[in-house]
Structure 1
């Protein structure tokens, strides 16, 4: 597997957030995107996810432009953005089963319960998520990583609101994905002690 960006540029309101951004990562590798607030980190991740087009440059997956790949590429990736994508009136289990169904990856209730237990939410899985803390909600959203198998993970500030124990859990999940040959693109203001040292790019400088 190979994810590549060549001479990428993002323009917002006639202002260039970044330009000439290039990278290349393969199986078992992680790309850590760094930059100040407003530098365009989220724009770059959304660009890589195919949610917005680059103002210039190209993103390719396995040697093929993601614009050309279309649905084939989207079936290879899982994007976790700032918005958690949870419905407050549904429980953690209901939210995750709904998300898996939308992604055409239906899962059994027992698998969802087990994934929530591993994330540290064994006693919260049946509560409406409106009763959960922000860190617990973040964990519910991230449990999708365990339930929806994808080769490429794109994670935008996944450590937001997580306590130290939850950070260790997520670090282990990412390490396991990389160890199995997966690919990860992440942006985070906090450091992560991953087993495989990430490739770092800094934008907006």
Structure 2
């Protein structure tokens, strides 16, 4: 399986944020997207996830052994916000996402308790999400990546609010995902602690472009 990006461009309002970005990631590969604030890192991930329309270019999944339609059907998107209801328990939040997302063709997600254990927070899934610390909330949001299967993870500043131990734990999850044939694209200012290619966004420099 490959994530194929060809000639991708995107605008914010009337401004061209980046232009003519192309890359191919195959099973087991990761890409770290770097650049200054406002250079288009988050915009790129949202376009890959199908949350924003591209100005030009294509995003597709190629060579999958399972039938996948639009590329977004193969993607998990973890943005700046945790996308969890504070009033619901952790288990209720994850149950919603497990049911809503379902599994992409080619794999099966984990159970809710197994996912929380994997993030080092077993035994507290009965608590309201709003009771958790910022770091715990971020880790619980990461459990969404596990409860429903998607071969491509799109991660926007995934380790924000995490301490060093949680950072290492998350790096281990990403490594296991890549080791099982998954693909990861992460926009981050911090090292992802996994072997990865790099795409540097130049942003507002006439026409923004990606630089390898």
> TM-score over 0.5 for the alignment?
yes
CA distance in 2 between counterparts of 1:169 and 1:185 reads 18
Cα distance per residue 1:19-42 (max 9 Å; x no partner): 121111100000111111111111
Could you tell me how far 1:13 is from its partner in structure 2? 2.3
User: Paired residue for 1:35?
Assistant: 35
Q: Which residue of 1 aligns with 2:190?
A: 190
Deviation at 1:63, TM superposition (A): 6.7
How far 1:179 sits from its partner (Å)? 0.6
Distance of aligned partners of 1:55 and 1:62 in 2 relative to their CA distance in 1, 3 Å threshold: same
Quickly say closer, same or farther: Cα 1:149–1:104, change in 2 above 3 A.
closer
Q: Which runs of 4+ in 1 moved over 6 A?
A: none
Aligned to 1:7, the other structure's residue is in SS state: strand
TM-score of the superposed pair, with normalisation by structure 2:
0.85
1:59 is aligned to 2:41: no
Partner of 2:81: 83
- Assess if the C-alpha contact under 8 Å between 2:25 and 2:183 holds in 1: yes
Count the aligned residue pairs: 194
User: SS in structure 1 opposite 2:19?
Assistant: strand
User: 1-side partners of 2:198 and 2:164: how far apart?
Assistant: 23
Let me know the Cα RMSD of the aligned residues: 1.9
Q: Deviations over 1:120-166 (max 9, x none)?
A: 21243211111111111111110112211111111111101011111
**Structure 1: gaps of 5 or more residues:** none
TM-score normalised by L of structure 1: 0.88
